[in-house]
Structure 1
Amino acid sequence: MFEGFIISRPVYFTEPSSRCGYCSAKKSRDEDYYCLDSWYRNSVVHANNSEGTLAENCTLGFQAELLSVEMYDRLCNMGYRRSGKFIYKADMLRNCCRLYTIRTQPDLVIMSKELKHTLRRFSKRVLPSDKPLHRNPKGGCHYIDEIVETETLSKSFRTCFEPSVFTEEKYRLFAKYQEHVHNDFDHSARSFKRFLCDTPFSKETVLGTKEEWEQLNNWKGFKQGDRLKRLGPAHECYYFEGNLIAMAVTDILPSGLSSVYFIWDPEYYKWSLGKLSALRELSIVSKANLKYYYMGYYLDDCPKMSYKAKYGGGLLDVSTHAYISLDQVTKLKRPGKLFAVEATSKSEAEKTHSSEFTLNDALLHAPKSISETAALKNVAEEIYGVAGGAYSEANEAAQALASLGIPYAVDELPFHPQTKEPEENEMHNIPNVVPGLVPLKEVLQMIMKDRISVLEGTVTLYDLLEGEMRRLERFEDESPEIKKILCDVVRLIGLENARGLLLLL
């Protein structure tokens, strides 16, 4: 009855910053929790906030089923990640930490002494003493060639790509990792399965075919131009002398390989397996003729996440749907702060935040990569700061939508004084202004120009309480609540991406 994937109604929830998995509310200065300096100054002056911060851990997203790898590829390039079947991203404006999507390419890696040492130690441990690597006279060796040669010669180390399904062996490794590395004893086989085995993809995509797995596991033998047949989630298991010592959870997408999570046996901590896994996955991207390596989120003020800068690449500006090189971003903002770029040149290829630009239309295409020579400025304060224009524009659109029977309301500005402490997983309406979501002004224009009608006849609605499923026939005839839910879906993923889905109400 429906053509696409299944999603729940979008959710937005907050919890205290002490629950943030990155900062745990332990930043040294209150100002470091805020996305922009103006909001920190405003919070101090108007909220009398001398005993803490108004920034919280703020997340939005939805549960998904039967998601295609192509759709998830697009979502990754909108700033989303997945945890099991939950597709999410942080509110970059209100969250206590700025979580930027980072992607890189194999040839952007500059091999530091630390990374070279990691490879040398790995080779020494897994190669027989009579099988030295063939390095050039100066002692240099391209990391991809070194990894391929080491693993080809090794008799004690091997890896194997396989479907992302539960096994007791994988869970034992996960338990050992959580307890010794993260001091987390609150886990179970069920939580492990939900976190690292469950996926939003179809069963057929998860299991794949024997031919796909055989070809993937022969990635070292790929020739230039060979096309990878396997797309979808995978567990790559690392074995040393027959024992499972690490597991990489990955998603292989049309545009590249996405790293989801990595676990390792604490007894092998001296191997620097995390660094090794990144170099290996970059090698796989290169040999398998993929384009990008998605490393998850980058936080430049969080030591356990800022290390990703060592591998080069760029960060996603969710406001303009464009990747900016790490070097450029460093010049545009201070660590931990928000950025939104505007090109100072007027070339057609670099229009950002201009009158012609609409985020919804940009989401129809792969994100741009802004040239490293482009002249850019950071306009985040102008758009999202205390005096920024995004809030009045969004609230005007919210009032206009309300007059059309779609129950949006005027929002309070971010970081307003709280009358109570946020509760864990407290649910809220999605704020009118969230960087990276289709602006309410664009949603209003879609309705005024009847562009929203492209959803009619393609979207299926399923009422969980009533157990009823039906097609969306006419947007105008729906209840105010359903209209708002549909508009929120469009805000999160774009109008065209919402076509053909089944929406759980």
Structure 2
Amino acid sequence: MTNEISLLKPLGYQRKNSCGYCKSATGSSSFYISCDNMRVDHYQELMDRGWRRSGTLYYKPDLPRSCCPHYTIRVRIQVEERPTSAPESMERFRTRTGISATSCHTVSSKEKRRTRDKFELLTAVHKAEYDHVKRPVSKRTGQPIEPAHRFEVSLEGDGFSKEKYGVFIKYQVEIHKDPISRWGEKAFKRFLCSGLDRKILKIDGKTLKLGSYHQCYRLDGKLVAVAVLDLLPHAVSSVYLFHDPEYQQWDFGKMSALREIALALEAKYEYYYMGYYIHSCIKMRYKGTFSPSYLLDPESLEWCLFDENYRHELDKRTYVSLSHDRIYGPPGEHIKEHSDQASALPAANANARDAPETTKERSDTYDDDQDLEFDDAPSDEEDAEIPEGSLFDYDIPGVLTKEEVKGLDLDHWRLLVRNALVELEDLRGWEDWKIDDPGSIKGIAAEMIAATGPELLQNSALVLF
């Protein structure tokens, strides 16, 4: 019975005093929960509330209290819309690899005229792959002429292999300058091989693969890159990408994004989630070049078109909520009042709504020479800085208020006790506990649902021990 529900460990809040993106000491803040068997529909709901996963750890940055706010970004998959950076990226990839279809046959003038002013995503993405390379027949032998190289892409389960681990170690050491000691096989498995359970379902007449997968890129049989993906009911979500540093010039970040958009398009997923977008990190700017892309508003949780006006606001200030601006006006015109308790919450960027330093100034200051696609999630093994009092005492974007949680059916949510599920209302003392008492089970349950959303009340249970 429990293998069909998500078993959720209590909410934590962690404050870090350093930042892997801007190198400052102001730090960041995040919520986190642990779950070893998260349902794919629950994770879809969490992502639409600003959460991401790292192995079996799920985390959501507290944007106003972080020096480099992480915005959830996604691309809507439409046939009529094409990623604006796609033609340049794919052509550069084909040129550098030298393994395009044209390496073994001459493109006719008619074909050149047909494709001159068109960009067909699926054609461009697959053009270099071995199964799609056109093989002209040799006049001398009568046999198809093989291309100079064999480039293949396959979607596999997220299991461990020595081959994947070897590429990962080279990537972390040479690109991220990590010591080898940080990444033993156990850590690699926990980080990249412990995702969502895989299954195949029919949803609305579509056959979808669901769960966590590795999309593997091989050249002449050699593994050169691995993209870690979560396939969800409505989306393809990019988790992580690592590659052999020997092939760094291939622009794997952009090229793999195009390949994953193609996967979403072919399998009829509605969206492609690109992880977090950090405007002050130059290396992440390419995520905003895919159209149409949307950022998740941290306060209203609505998806807002990421257009030039949105970029302009992010250039001026690190924390932006368009819904907040509509209600209270831009910073300087009217600033939302915070309670004394709210201002007491550990804050790296407490005045982010009217921060004097612009994003452009930050991007000019901080070193972005290295690839910083590594989302540095909190760890449940580290000491977390827990704010005093209840979560409901603080003004935190995207978290349900106490009154909103009171309107939910917490009574019939379940708790796992000695491998048995019991409803919370059956606990002795449940009626006397308060939802704003963080020391009670009712307070723990209320804070969990406030941060993760009401949808997780269904097909889940709280695990305290």
Contact 2:345 2:394 in 1 (8 A): no
Q: 1:416 to 1:192 in 2, by over 3 A?
A: closer
Match in the other structure for 2:296 = 316
1:294 to 263, 273, 293: 273
Does residue 493 of structure 1 match 2:441? Answer: no
Does residue 334 of structure 1 match 2:315? Answer: yes
Alignment of 1:383-462 (within 5 A): 387-391=335-339, 412=344, 415=347, 425-429=383-387, 430=391, 432-443=394-405, 446=406, 451-452=407-408, 454-462=409-417
Secondary structure, aligned partner of 1:460:
strand
Alignment of 1:148-159 (within 5 A): 148-151=126-129, 152-154=131-133, 156-159=150-153
The answer to which of 124-133 and 157-166 deviates more is 124-133
Alignment of 1:188-199 (within 5 A): 188-199=184-195
Match in the other structure for 1:248 = 227
Q: Could you tell me how far 1:132 is from its partner in structure 2?
A: 4.9
Q: Per-residue displacement from partner, 1:213-233 (whole Å, max 9, x unpaired)? A: xx9xxxxxxxxx982331111
Match in the other structure for 2:168 = 174
Q: Could you tell me how far 1:439 is from its partner in structure 2?
A: 2.5
Match in the other structure for 1:101 = 72
Secondary structure, aligned partner of 1:230:
strand
Q: 1:147 to 1:413 in 2, by over 3 A?
A: closer
Does residue 239 of structure 1 match 2:218? Answer: yes
Secondary structure, aligned partner of 2:264:
helix
C-alpha RMSD over aligned residues: 3.3
Q: Could you tell me how far 1:91 is from its partner in structure 2?
A: 0.7
Alignment of 1:259-298 (within 5 A): 259-298=238-277
Does residue 74 of structure 1 match 2:45? Answer: yes
Q: Could you tell me how far 1:269 is from its partner in structure 2?
A: 1.4
Match in the other structure for 1:43 = none
Q: Could you tell me how far 1:109 is from its partner in structure 2?
A: 1.3
Contact 2:99 2:128 in 1 (8 A): no
Match in the other structure for 1:121 = 95
Q: Could you tell me how far 1:455 is from its partner in structure 2?
A: 2.7
Match in the other structure for 2:8 = 7
Q: 1:68 to 1:9 in 2, by over 3 A?
A: same
Q: 1:112 to 1:468 in 2, by over 3 A?
A: closer
Q: 1:22 to 1:441 in 2, by over 3 A?
A: farther
- In 1, the alpha carbon distance for the partners of 2:115 and 2:67 equals 50
Matched AA of 1:174:
F
The answer to which of 240-249 and 480-489 deviates more is 480-489
Q: 1:477 to 1:124 in 2, by over 3 A?
A: same
The answer to which of 488-497 and 469-478 deviates more is 469-478
- In 2, the alpha carbon distance for the partners of 1:250 and 1:132 equals 36
Q: Could you tell me how far 1:336 is from its partner in structure 2?
A: 5.2
Match in the other structure for 1:162 = 156
Q: 1:10 to 1:380 in 2, by over 3 A?
A: farther
Matched AA of 1:241:
D
- In 1, the alpha carbon distance for the partners of 2:268 and 2:193 equals 26
Q: 1:319 to 1:125 in 2, by over 3 A?
A: same
- In 1, the alpha carbon distance for the partners of 2:115 and 2:209 equals 38
Q: Could you tell me how far 1:72 is from its partner in structure 2?
A: 0.7
TM-score in terms of structure 2 length: 0.76
Match in the other structure for 2:59 = 88
Matched AA of 1:502:
A
- In 2, the alpha carbon distance for the partners of 1:264 and 1:253 equals 24
Q: What runs of 5+ residues in structure 2 fail to find an aligned partner?
A: 134-146, 351-381
Secondary structure, aligned partner of 1:428:
coil
2:27 to 40, 49, 56: 56
Q: Could you tell me how far 1:130 is from its partner in structure 2?
A: 2.2
TM-score in terms of structure 1 length: 0.70
Matched AA of 2:252:
L
Secondary structure, aligned partner of 2:286:
helix
Contact 2:50 2:72 in 1 (8 A): yes
Q: What runs of 5+ residues in structure 1 fail to find an aligned partner?
A: 26-52, 216-224, 343-352, 354-374, 396-409, 419-423
Secondary structure, aligned partner of 1:490:
helix
Q: Could you tell me how far 1:441 is from its partner in structure 2?
A: 4.4
Does residue 187 of structure 1 match 2:142? Answer: no
